[in-house]
Structures are given as structure tokens and as C-alpha cells.
Amino acid sequence: MALTALLATHAHAETDPAGAQVLFDEGQKLVASGDYPSACPKFAASHRLEPAIGTLINLADCYEHVGKLASAWARYLDAATMAERAGQPARAKKAREHAKALEPRLSRLIIVVEGVGYAEVRRDEFVIEPAGYGLAVPVDPGRHVVRATGPGVAPFEAAVDVEGEGNVVRVVVKPSTAVAPVDLPHTGRSQRLVAVVVGSLGLVSLGVAAGFGLRARSRWGEAQGDCEGTVCGPRGVALAAEANRAAGLADIGLVVGGVAVVAGVVLFFTAPRAAPPASARLYPLVGRDTVGVGLVGAF
């Protein structure tokens, strides 16, 4: 275990300075040409390969130019923290000043969760901690999706568009009166249905076997008219051969049909018939005009 932890730490600490530098240089060239949308991914990739204060500051400036003010604000603060840890107070101060200047322009999203029915609430791909409910969180302009799930309540989903600067958008997540589907225990209905189908096929097979048996008996009787003892003419030989083929098919159908009928009977009478155990659960009902408690269960 110690060796595994050591190797994992070593692998995590590995960087790619050369690759990071190439990406950083390419990002600066794109910025010089005014192509900020293409430059931002270069700076982000460079920082992933080798975290650096200068790269973070360039990334924050790039996000600011493309209108992603919340991302820029967060990157400036990250750069300030890195600079403080590296003993570079001047760069830390400059980064915090940039972040402070952006604050009045930030658009924010407030997620209010009513009731206690939801176990998990997400904003886009981020899980929102309960301590964050009701707080105004800076977000970039664009569409944001709020999802909530929990036992006993229908899933919640709402898409909101955040536009411009300095706006505040509020989303209220509240449990619906609808109840999430509940899987009931298997009651044997499916097994009995299979039993009926198998048994029916077995009966059909027995009927076909009876038809071939009658055909074999008929052809054998006709063959006897063209035979004297064990000597038969050409017609008698052909009829006897046809009778043998029909008898063989009758035997196969009889075996298959008998097995299917027996299997169907066994499946039908061994299917579980007990009703699912009774269960019940209370859940809150909270809505615009509704406050109360609901009961869901199987009885």
C-alpha cells in the first residue's frame, strides 16, 4: 500500500514543462493576433501540464476578453493564492486587484431548494453542497441546467439563460407531488405467462404429431395393397418409405410436445404467488399552494 501511494504521488507530481511552454507560447501568439477564443484553451492546457502563476494570469485575462467573467475572476484568485504561497506578494496583489475589479460585473445564479426531498442538486456538472443553497454564485453567461434527484420525488430539471453582466438569476427547486416509480417484487406473473406459451406450443406439437401419425398409418395401408408378403412393387416401396418418414416425424413431435406440455405445467404451478410485502413511506409535499405529507407504498 505504501509503494502504491508513493507511485501515485510521483505520477501525479510529474509535469511536462516543454509541452506547457509550447502551448503557452502558442497562446500568446493567438492573443497578439486578437484571437482570444482560440488562445484560452492553449493557456488552460499549458496550466494543466505545468501549473504556473503567469499562465493562470494569462488565462484569466483571456477569459475576461471573451466574456467569461466568472471564470476569469476565479483564475485571478487562484493566481493570487499561488503567488502568495510562492512568496511573490506583488503578483498576488495585482491578481487580487483584477479579481476585485471584476466583482461588480459578475452575473450570479442563486439556487433555492425547498423541502427535504432531494438528496443531490447539480448545477451543470457540479454538485451543490447544502451549505451552498441560496447563495449567489458567479457564473459565466450562457445556459445553465439545474437538476435535482431524490427518493420518493420526481426528478427536477430547469434550464436558465444568464445574459449580460451584473445580473442575478434565481432558480427554485421544489419537490413535485408526483412520486418516483417504485419497482415491485416479482410476483410470478411472468413465469406463468411463459408457462402458458410453452404449454400451448407443446399442445400444437402434439397435434402435428397426431397428423403425421395418421398420415403414416394411411400410407402404410395403401402400401399393403401393392405388396405380397415381403415383396412390394415400386408403388408399394414408395408408399412404405413415405409412411416411415411420417412415422419418424410423428415420433419427434410426440416427444417434443410431451416435454413442452410437462415443462409448461411445472412452470405454471411453481410460479410464486405470494403478494409483495406491505411497505409504506412518508414524503413531504411542498408546493406553491400545497404543504403537507404524502404516503406511498405497496399493500
DSSP code string of 255-276: HHHHHHHHHHHHHHHHS--PPP
Q: Which of 71-75, 157-161, 287-291 has the lowest mean pLDDT?
A: 287-291
Structural domain containing residue 77: 15-103
Reference 77, options 55, 54, 58, 100; nearest CA is 100
One domain, residues 96 and 23: yes
Decide: pTM greater than 0.75: no
Does residue 273 fall inside a structural domain?
no
For a pLDDT cut of 90, what percent of the chain falls above it?
Answer: 47
Quickly state the pLDDT bin for 124 (edges 50, 70, 90).
very high
For a pLDDT cut of 70, what percent of the chain falls above it?
Answer: 79
Higher pLDDT, 297 or 255: 255
Does residue 297 fall inside a structural domain?
no
The pLDDT value recorded for residue 75 is 96
The pLDDT value recorded for residue 283 is 46
Check the CA dihedral 126-127-130-134 and report its sign: positive
Task: Write the DSSP symbol of residue 104.
Answer: G
Domain count, the chain: 3
Q: How is residue 70 written as a grid cell?
A: 466568472
DSSP code string of 190-234: HHHHHHHHHHHHHHHHHHHHHHHHHHHHHHHHHHHTTEETTEE-H
Does residue 130 fall inside a structural domain?
yes
Interval 131-159: pLDDT, tens = 999 999 999 999 999 999 888 788 899 99
One domain, residues 158 and 217: no
Does residue 275 fall inside a structural domain?
no
In angstroms, the CA 214 to CA 188 distance is: 39
One domain, residues 87 and 115: no
Does residue 191 fall inside a structural domain?
no
Task: Write the DSSP symbol of residue 184.
Answer: P
The alpha carbons of the chain give a radius of gyration, in whole angstroms, of 39
The pLDDT value recorded for residue 274 is 54
The pLDDT value recorded for residue 10 is 41
